[in-house]
Amino acid sequence: MREEYKLLLPAVCVLAFLVAAPTFYLFYTSFLRWFLRDPTGPTFAGVENYVKLLQSSDFAISLTVTLIFSAASVTFSLLLGLGLALLFSEDLRGKRIMRTIIVLPIVLPPVVVGFTWKFLLSSEVGVIGAYFMRLIGLGNLSLLGDPTLALVSVIIADIWGKTPLPFLIFLAGLAGIPSIYYESAKIDGAGSWQIFRSITLPNMKKPIVVAAILRTIDAFNSFDVIFVMTKGGPGMATHTLPMLGWKVGFYYFDVGTASAIGVILLLIVMFLSMPLIRSISR
Amino acid sequence: MLGTVGGLVGGLAIGAAVGWLAKPEAAVRTVTQIVGEPGRTITTTVTQAAPTVERTVTQYVTAPPREKAKINVIAFAQGFAWPELFGPDGTTETDLLKRFEASENVDVTIEWGDEWAVREKVAADVTAQVGKYDIVLVGSDGAVQAYGYAGYLEPLDEYFKKYPQDYFDPNDVYPSFLDANRIEGTLYALPYYSFGPGVIYRRDLFEKYGAELPKDNWTTNDLEIAMEKILEGLRRDGITDVYPLTMRAGPGEEPTLDLAGFIYAYAGYPAWFEGGAIWPGEIRNKKAKPIFDSSDFEAGFRAFTDWAKKFGPPGISTHTWVDMMNTYAVGKAAILMPSAINGYAALGITQDENVKKYTRFMLTPFGPGKKRINSYWTFSLGINKFSKNKEAAWRVLTYLTGRKSMEAFAERTGWPNVTMRSVLYSYPLIKKYGIEEIEHNERSVLENPAIYFPYIPELDLFMDKIGTTASEVVAGAKTVEVALSELQKWATDLMTSRGYYT
Amino acid sequence: MPESKLKLLVIYTLAIVACFIVVFPIAWLVVSSFKTMFQIFQIPPQLIFQPTLDNYQRLFFGGQLMNAFTNSLIVSAITVTVSLVLAVPAAYSLSRLNNAVGRNVGFWIISVRMAPAFAVIVPYFIIMYYLKLIDTIWAVAITYLVFAIPFTTWLLKITFEELPKELEESALIDGATKTAALFRVILPNAVPMIASASILTFVLAWNEFLMAFILTSRDARTVPVLITALSGTHKLDWPIMAAITTVSMIPAFLFITFVQRYLIKGLTMGAVKT
């Protein structure tokens, strides 16, 4: 066993060194009443920040929006990623070019993804939102101005921008399934769906779970795309927890509450990941 | 040091004596004065009268600081702000900049970012109290108040006396632009480009649909009737993608600048707290509670949201100034208000012939409260309290907001949103807009107060909450009554928790 | 046979539709970089227009683009290499450890990545300031390691787990140490996942904005920081943003094309698993 620990040590040491102080800072400040605009400095406040948050309607709304957004974005990007990975593992001409193209969205900075979709979906100047929608007779719908549609729009933008992540992971995962399995299944006369269910899926369980965790972390922390597209609006229809945390920290300068939001976000993501991780641990 | 001063004074005195002795009859009079800190500044005023021309030349000779001071500025709008100094990409060291740096013995480095990102950096700097940035960019719709009350900005009134300079003349600047940066009388920042309220409109659309043109003493009623006519006319023509009005009603603090202007016009005063209290001291002493569910506040709020819903484009509930400007620039709106500067910006990017030809400016209409709809903002710079080079920073600050910079701004953008009378009434702007429109722009600044909402440390929170509430109403997610009663509760809780009423 | 021809047709159609949906916004963005703001917002969209090179000219003026590019490249390269160097042995040991220590350390590693950026940016700023690393690429690269190491470790861990013990056992029997076994036998079988992890780490490091912005001023600015600084909210110069993005897609594009060839089915896989 000793050699394994030696191999593990460098990564753990580097990480521990880098995250120790910020983690401590995060937890510590969440228990303080500290307004940057107040020259008197921080004072200890116990769980006051948490209590106020849990009672605040802004927090409740942001939490709901975040949960809906993340659930939708994660689920669909996983499904699409898997579908595309299967599609592009087949023998296709121009596979290499097409795979590179499919990966492109994740190369764009989230801010650019946000602006691209914002301008495309705009009901005033957008190719899709103003031109195409009118063409198909849906001109009275405002993709970014209607609260429900705005949420759908930001979810679509996020899915578009982030699907390459599960896609690449699944491509690698599929590549790791020995062709022998498929060959013998075909010899036994199994149909495509059966092959998928009994060979592909079980062997993809781990990549799917890891991709799910990574995507969940991303989705819960997603800020740039939404901020740029709708600023959290209309009203608070697309106002997520990271947006609240950012606003509270950098706009209201309420460091204590912002840290508390950070801690809560962290705990939620951890809580959601634990069962997932357990399902693939020995 | 004393030797240098002595030498300079001596030299000037000798020069003065020679000039006096050798002067032609009453042609040259030389006066030498020493002002400011001894040894730091020497002022000479030379007055020369010839038969037909009287010319006054004032020279300030400043002894530069001993060591070259490194001044860090953080700002947004790279490439747009001060391109004459920093190049069109914002990172060039132009000759003009080099000359300035040499004359003041400073090394100016400027860092750019997006407006929100700059805010983050300043917050980090201020938390760590490192004083990395000597000069910070602040807006008058929250940042000035937040940083000012927290004590992160240097009060600047004394600096005019202690360190005289001839870049920025406070007497040339419209007083309201300075007022916007004063907290309880103390000045915390100097304005770069700034704007007052106005209505930008398309004369051709008004005329086409028989709507009465905006005039000097028009009312919000008149405006509403005009918009109805335009809306009717557009629908009759089957045009569904042009709208009478473009405003910004997105969530967050930005649109509140305009919304607050509506409140002000309809109520006749800043109807946020009882009695229209706007200073923290006032609110404390009078125990002035919020009045967001009062009819005074509701009047302007309702007008804003109703107009946005009825006359504005469908996406208006997420629109920021960029969207508002774009909508007008592509010819999809007849009116842009009340932050008219965005209309001028639209004029700058448009390639639509009608927009270019028929865009006009008029003062905003009077609301039922007998005040014009307001909208004021200054793009200001302040000195960081933790800066280690305040005097040098002051010189840079006054240069960046001074006359030359304003002239360069006006010449480059062609917008009449300058802070100084002498620049507003300069040839390039008069040529572009005609003297009447320039006068209207001046009046919009003179006739409307800069402070039309409370100047309290919590302003940021209020601006954000009110703006988001309005966006919800415009999007149809809440009714005005529900929204305002929730807003009232939120405000009361907040002010109470901050100890205003104990 | 007609059935498999139909299947092929369906597959090709789906693939092309997928590519179209992906490409459309990107194509729009690239086209925007050759237009003025006004032209971009025309409805109906102008397919035939007077192109302008203004945006690109402004971009290359002053050399800040080259600077940002170099910074981004270096930072991304450092992040990918260092995280691989650290993650590979860690992933291997986690995949072979079957005890509580392994499970807990594994969970802790991924949990490191879960903290939201806005919550930890200030402490990072303070740390880097006192280490005098502000505005150097090291500050940025070091911070990115925090995100990259857990990511790569877990992706490789699950890949290694799928490789049966027999693989290294045969090497060990020949007298190799576990470390050597790792390199000689395990790694070559994990090439696809290493490729994916590298691409993703490179791209995510290339793209990251918040940390890069806070931790740099002028010298060490990366491409995303430059993008927002140049376009900003004060006039929101979308054509410039489109131009920079178009240019900055090229290195990533090349990297992906190059690394992609490794995303193929394994070499010795079939032989061993049976």
**Identity of residue B159:** Y
End-to-end CA distance of chain B: 57
Interchain contact, B77 vs C122, CB within 8 Å: no
User: B477–A150: do the CB atoms touch at under 8 Å?
Assistant: no
Residue B456 lies in a domain: yes
* B30 contacts chain A (CB < 8 A): no
CB C210 within 8 A of CB C121: yes
Q: Which residues of B451-481 are buried (b: 16+ CB within 10 A; e: fewer)?
A: bbbbbbbbbbbbbbbbbbbbbbbbbebbeee
**CATH code assigned at C131:** 1.10.3720.10
Give the whole-number percent of chain C exceeding pLDDT 70: 90
Task: Tell me which residues of chain B, numbers 291 to 330, contact chain A at a CB-CB cutoff of 8 Å.
Answer: 313-318, 320, 323, 326-327, 330
Q: Which pLDDT does position A195 carry in this prediction?
A: 81
Cβ-contact B188, B148 below 8 angstroms: yes
Distance CA B183, CA B146 (A): 10
Task: Determine contact: C154 vs chain A, CB below 8 A.
Answer: yes
Q: Does the residue B12 lie in any domain? A: no
Reduced to 3 states (helix: H, G, I; strand: E, B; else coil), residue B249 is coil
Touching check for B88 and chain C: CB below 8 Å? Answer: yes
Cβ separation B330–C41 shorter than 8 A: yes
Q: H-type helices in B151-271, by residue range?
A: 157-162, 175-179, 203-208, 220-236, 256-267
- Determine, yes or no, domain membership for B6: no
The answer to whether residue B171 scores a pLDDT higher than 70 is yes
Q: Do A105 and C26 touch (CB under 8 A)?
A: yes
First to last CA, chain A: 17
Tally of CB atoms within 10 A around B127: 18
State whether B295 and B408 are in the same domain: no
B358 in the same domain as B215: yes
Which residues make Cβ contacts (< 8 Å) with residue B497, sequence separation at least 6?
none
Label the pairing between strands B106-113 and B69-76. parallel
Q: Residues B148-165: pLDDT tens digits? A: 888 889 999 999 988 888
pLDDT at B30 over 50: no
CATH number at residue B297: 3.40.190.10
> Is B24 domain-assigned?
no
- Report the residue from A102, A107, A221 with minimal CB separation from C19: A102
Domain presence at residue C240: yes
The answer to whether position B40 is within a domain reads no
Omega before A109 within 30 of 0, i.e. cis: no
Task: Answer whether residue B20 shows pLDDT above 60.
Answer: no
Determine the pLDDT at residue B13.
Answer: 47
pLDDT tier at C265 (50, 70, 90 boundaries)? low
In whole angstroms, what is the distance from residue C142 CA to residue A14 CA? 10
Which amino acid is it at C269?
A: M
Angstrom distance (rounded) from CA A56 to CA B16: 73
Q: Examine residue B157 and state whether it is found in any structural domain, yes or no.
A: yes
- Percent of chain B exceeding pLDDT 90 equals 48
What domains can be seen in chain A, in order of their start residue?
A: 51-281 (1.10.3720.10)
Residue A275: other Cβ atoms inside 10 A:
9
Does B22 have pLDDT greater than 60?
no
Contacts of C101 (CB under 8 A, 6+ apart): none
Which helix (H) or strand (E) segment is B30 a member of? strand B28-33
Provide ipTM, 2 decimals.
0.87
**C11 is a domain residue:** no
Asked whether residue B369 carries a pLDDT value surpassing 70, the answer given is yes
Residue C23 covered by a domain? no
Residue of A63, A58, A32 lying closest to A45 (CA atoms): A32
B339 contact C CB<8A? no
Residue type, B490: W
Region B9-25: mean pLDDT is: 43
Q: Nearest Cβ partner of A144 from B127, B318, B474?
A: B318
**pLDDT at residue B6 in the model:** 43
Counting the structural domains of chain C, the total is 1
For residue A27, how far is the Cα from the chain centroid? 23
Residue in the structure block whose two tokens are 């009077």: B366
pLDDT at B394 over 90: yes
User: Residues of C with CB below 8 A from A207's CB?
Assistant: 158
Indicate yes or no: CB of B318 within 8 angstroms of CB of A234: yes
Domains held by chain B: number: 2
> How far does C62 lie from chain A, in Å, by closest CA?
23
What is the per-residue pLDDT for A282? Answer: 63
Q: Which of C44, C45, C249 shows the shortest C-beta gap to A104?
A: C249
**B51 compared with B162, residue with greater pLDDT:** B162
Confidence of residue A73 (pLDDT cuts 50, 70, 90): very high
How far apart CA A184 and CA A190 sit, in angstroms, is 9
Is the per-residue pLDDT at B232 higher than 90?
yes
CA-based nearest residue in chain C for residue A203: C162
3-state SS of C102-160 is HHHHHHHHHHHHHCCHHHHHHHHHHHHHHCCCCCCHHHHHHHHHHHHHHHHHHHHHHHH
Domain that holds residue C126: 63-268
Do B160 and B85 belong to one domain?
yes
Write out pLDDT tens, residues C181-221.
667 777 888 888 898 999 999 998 988 888 888 888 777 88
Residue B31 lies in a domain: no
Q: Are residues B456 and B346 in the same domain?
A: yes
Size of interface A-C (CB pairs under 8 A): 276
Q: Which pLDDT tens digit goes with each residue over A11-64? A: 899 889 888 888 898 999 999 988 876 667 788 888 889 999 998 889 999 999
Based on the domain organization, do B423 and B310 belong to the same domain?
A: no
Q: Chain C contact for B350, CB < 8 A?
A: yes
Contact residues on chain B for A235, CB-CB shorter than 8 A: 251, 317, 468-469, 471-473, 475, 477-478
Residue-averaged pLDDT of chain B: 84
Pair of tokens at residue A131 = 């031109």
Residues B465 and B323 in one domain: yes
Reported pTM: 0.83
Q: Are residues B354 and B296 in the same domain?
A: yes
Of A101, A111, A242, the CB nearest to C22: A101
Q: Decide if B349 and C36 are in contact by the 8 Å CB cutoff.
A: yes
Q: Is residue B29 part of a domain?
A: no
Mean pLDDT of A182-197: 81
Please say if the pLDDT value at position A104 is more than 80.
yes
Q: What is the CA radius of gyration of chain C?
A: 23
Enumerate neighbours of A (3 or more CB pairs within 8 A).
Answer: B, C
Name all chains with 3 or more CB-CB pairs below 8 Å to chain B: A, C
- B96, B111: one domain: yes
Residues 6+ apart with CB under 8 A from C140: C71, C75, C211, C212, C215, C216, C220, C222
Residue of A123, A140, A252 with shortest CB distance to B460 = A252
Residue pLDDT, tens place only, B235-257 = 999 888 899 999 999 998 888 99
